[in-house]
Amino acid sequence: QESTEKSEQTAGPVAGSTDKPRDETPSKKKLCFKAAKEHDIPENLDKVLENKVVERASDLYYVNMGVVETTCLDDADGEGIVSQSVSSHSDLIPGVYEGGLKIWECTFDLIDFFSEAEIQFANKSVLDLGCGAGLLGIVALKGKAGKVHFQDYNSTVIDEITLPNAVANCVAEGSQTVSGGDGKAHEPPSKRPKKAERSPDALTKCRFFSGEWSEVSQLLLSSRKPFSKYDIILTSETTYNPDYYGTLHDTLAKLLDKNGRVYLASKAHYFGVGGGIHLFEKFVEERKVFRTSIVKIIDKGLQRYIMEMAFKDSS
């Protein structure tokens, strides 16, 4: 049985991917949640990938998390989440750091499911909620989504991981189209990436947000920029803390299009924090807003689930 200690690395080809050990019990005191902020994409894309080491797994490029953590310990982390995470030996500090510096196991479950279930992203409006590395949104982007928005609690995660990953994938996609045409796979860019010579069109479909869920919802819904609700909301391992269920549920209800779908990946239970798929499913059912269905069970080690959600009155 999994304890509250850090578990061994078990999942996926990405460095820093590990079973999601929520080894910090949530504080009972009132938490100070982060205000919402939109992060602009810099004109100089080289700057985004500066001091990053880009690696490749499958069709996805991603920045090496260990290098990011080392850089952030020096001076790149304005929030101080890396030093606090290291000093507390925790992947979770409620209200301060919510785990975005790692790529968690269920992310890969959901990516596999997209392929197996032939989920169509073309021309869809997509939100990667609690995005961390942003791999779910990047898969949607590669699937020709019309727009993809990324949200994480921490601004450091967006600036140092999510945005660089999106840039790395868009630039790689663009350069692959232009060069060669021989169909050969690119060598994994384990060294610092080549300069971004163009501004990839796919990036114009992206927006990036940090902050607490309800704050980001308010920012989007009250913005002067045109906003249409999402056809698809993707979220992985966001059910670990029951204290967040109300906000998570309300955010999905406010931002999902009336005929949209949510695809949520979760472990059966998160030891030490108390949440899990069954508890969240019960919470959702009691609210009587969404209908839910378990569309996949991954029965390896601690059971993992993928749940589809839609409004009860949707088509």
Q: Please give the CATH superfamily to which domain 39-311 belongs.
A: Vaccinia Virus protein VP39 (3.40.50.150)
Say yes or no to pLDDT of 101 above 70: no
Residues 244-283: tens digit of each pLDDT: 999 999 999 999 999 999 999 999 999 888 899 999 999 9
Tell me the DSSP string of 123-189.
T-EEEEET-TT-HHHHHHHHTT-SEEEEEES-HHHIIIIIHHHHHHHHHHHHHHHHS--S-PPPPP-
Give dist(CA 61, CA 171) in Å, integer: 10
Is the pTM for the entire model greater than 0.85?
Answer: no
CB count within 10 Å of CB 177 equals 10
Let me know: does 122 contact 141? Beta carbons within 8 Å: no
Rounded Cα distance, 260 and 280, in Å = 19
Return the minimum-mean-pLDDT range out of 15-24, 105-114, 156-165. 15-24
Dist CA 279 CA 241 (whole Å): 10
Strands 304-311 and 256-267: antiparallel
Cα–Cα distance, 154 to 79 (Å, whole number): 8
- Answer with the residue of higher pLDDT: 142 or 187: 142
- C-alpha 268/C-alpha 98 separation (Å) is 19
Q: Which of 42, 73, 67 is nearest to 55 (CA)?
A: 67
- What CA–CA distance (Å, rounded) separates 128 from 276? 19
* Terminal C-alpha separation, the chain: 41
Cα-Cα-Cα-Cα dihedral sign, residues 97, 90, 248, 168:
positive
More confident residue, 115 or 102: 115
pLDDT at 42 over 80: yes
pLDDT at 173: 57
pLDDT, averaged across the chain? 80
